[in-house]
Amino acid sequence: MDENTRKWIVIAVLVASVAGIGALYVSNNSAAPAKGSDRKAAKKDKKEAPSSPKQAPAAAAAEQEAAARKIDELAAAKKEDEAQAASTPAAPAPAPAAAEPPTALTPKQKAALAVQLKDQGNDLYKKSKFQEAIECYSKAIDLQPTSAVFWCNRAACHANLNDPKSVVEDCTKALALDPAYVKALHRRAIAYEQLGQLRDALNDFTTITILDGYKNPNAMNAAERLLKTLAETQALAMLPNKKPMLPSATFVSAYLEAFRPAPCPALEGTTPEPETPEFYLAAALAHIKAKEYELADEAITKSVSLVTEENLVAAHVYNLQGTFLFLKGQVEEASAAFERSLALDETNVNTLIKMSNILMERGEVDQTLQMFERALQVNDQDPDIYYHRGQVKFLSNDFGGCILDYQKSLDLDPTFPAAYIQLGVSQYKLGSIQTAMGTFKKAMAEFPTTADIYNYYGELLMDQGRFPEAVEQYDKCINLAPVSPMAYINKATLMFQVFQDAPQAERLLRTALEKDPRCDLVYVQLANFLLPQGKVDEAIKYFDKAIDLARTLPELVNAIMAKENVLAQYHVTQALPASLIAETLK
């Protein structure tokens, strides 16, 4: 797994009054037990309409009848007064006090009559007489404006009359009375989306998701859809103005090291002359070996500018040009460079594999696999072909297929640690836990100084709840590769979520940031950590930094989704009482 295939969005839920360190982190795919059902059942009982008048005790029925007669009498009196005033040329006299029915009723009579009017509204609603139902609900609201149900029922009528603005107004009134009223939240969310207020709609669907304990698939799917729409809209607006840049050194190294080292035939047995394509090509390769990627990029650009002859040297130059363009997120320009390289050397397997990366980035899976077949026709004994095809199958969730490809890659060359790592992770994904753990133990024995093995092995231990052992593996990774941020991030997650050591978690994340200031994942995780502590401005700053570092449209969408997702979660913590959230998550 590389950084692009991870799903590291942690949902931060602030429950300052009940959580030991001021926050509770909950995975968005966790299934909360049904302990919150008691509260929901009670709420449902509260919201259901009381028994109809026919089923009420005789005294209550008589009282409702008397109240209804009183309203009719007062209304008739008002009508008579209005008629008399209209026939009199003088200025109309003030309406008598008795003309205001609500003030002439006792609170108990008002409540009883309000229920009658609500029931009438319900009957009219069922008959699709929405405007008449609105009139009944409005009268009920006048009598009892503190009933969230009346406001929500009227909102349902407005929804059927395609009046989303009124739906929002009435549902907002209902939610002011009962912030956990899911039906009102749902109706308002739909109305917000109709009005184009996508972030408001996302907030409401997210609130429903949390109130329902992550067991409401419709709300969860709606939130996910809105997240993606919001992020894509913003990303498409940002992308044209983004300046191309190389990603994190960790990312560049991971990509380049996914290919087995190979000599450059175009430079073998020669001493390049200064200011020639060969000279700068050799310089670029030397900088890559030293992990001086910015200098390598400059040397490649210079080499391309000096190409005058279309030969194998030029083919290798274009290959490296395409590689660094791809790393900077310039996918179409990279594709053109690889095409130029293949036009000069169509049998270069490395270029064919990198071209498949372009196709996969575009989402063209079938064409990607066809490119691998083309590479196999050139050399079916090249282990890199099987390794990278395995990566494509892994991303397509074909774990059985990728296991076969990773194993074939190792059969052809057992000295490649990355193939062991990917094989072990794929076995684990397929459910072969013991086999996967065995693969990692073999890799550690074969490559004891390869840091990534310990980091990924720590992730598997963490997933199994073997937390102290996971910490031990992360520490080994940090000792072997102190500039790589991933082990710091994983250990920080453990320190915060499991061991409740917030200061240590923050130190680890800030150390990771110092080690690799271009790693967008560190900024996202640090923002996730700061937000539940109430450090909203600082968290948003780090989210925005991650967005700045995103290079491609998919990366940009993912970074924006991470920000919008967590901010929506934070909105819930501000909209609902902390005790209610805690009860929901029990």
Residue with tokens 């929405």: 130
In a domain, 340, yes or no: yes
In a domain, 472, yes or no: no
In a domain, 331, yes or no: yes
Task: For residues 58 and 61, give the distance between their C-alpha atoms in angstroms, rounded to a whole number.
Answer: 5
Task: For residues 152 and 185, give the distance between their C-alpha atoms in angstroms, rounded to a whole number.
Answer: 9
Quick one: tokens of 286? 């030397």
Beta bridge partner(s), residue 26: 11
Residue 491: how many other CB atoms lie within 10 Å: 27
Picking from 143, 195, 144, the residue whose alpha carbon sits closest to that of residue 169 is: 195
* H/E stretch holding 24: strand 24-26
Q: What dihedral angle (degrees, nearest 10) is formed by the CA atoms of 561, 566, 570, 575?
A: 50
Task: For residues 360 and 391, give the distance between their C-alpha atoms in angstroms, rounded to a whole number.
Answer: 10
Segment 544-550 mean pLDDT: 94
Is the separation of the CB atoms in 423 and 430 below 8 Å? no
Is the separation of the CB atoms in 157 and 125 below 8 Å? yes
In a domain, 141, yes or no: no
Please say if the pLDDT value at position 102 is more than 80.
no
Q: What is the mean pLDDT of the chain?
A: 84
In a domain, 299, yes or no: yes
Task: For residues 580 and 316, give the distance between their C-alpha atoms in angstroms, rounded to a whole number.
Answer: 62
Domain count, the chain: 1
- The model's pTM is 0.72
Task: For residues 128 and 1, give the distance between their C-alpha atoms in angstroms, rounded to a whole number.
Answer: 54
Residue 305 vs residues 275, 331, 338: alpha-carbon distances, Å = 10, 20, 16
Task: For residues 365 and 373, give the distance between their C-alpha atoms in angstroms, rounded to a whole number.
Answer: 13
Q: What are the pLDDT digits (tens) for 521-542?
A: 999 999 988 887 888 889 999 9
Q: How far is CA 473 from the centre of its chain?
A: 28
Q: At 343, is the pLDDT very low, low, confident or very high (cuts 50, 70, 90)?
A: very high
CATH number of the domain at 288, please: 1.25.40.10
Q: What are the pLDDT digits (tens) for 398-456?
A: 999 999 999 999 999 999 999 999 999 999 999 999 999 999 999 999 999 999 999 99
The domain in which residue 280 lies consists of 249-380
Beta bridge partner(s), residue 24: 13
Q: Which residue has the higher pLDDT, 408 or 2?
A: 408
**What residue spans of 290-364 are helical by DSSP H?**
293-306, 312-327, 331-344, 349-361
In a domain, 305, yes or no: yes
Please say if the pLDDT value at position 228 is more than 80.
yes
Q: What dihedral angle (degrees, nearest 10) is formed by the CA atoms of 511, 513, 418, 316?
A: -140
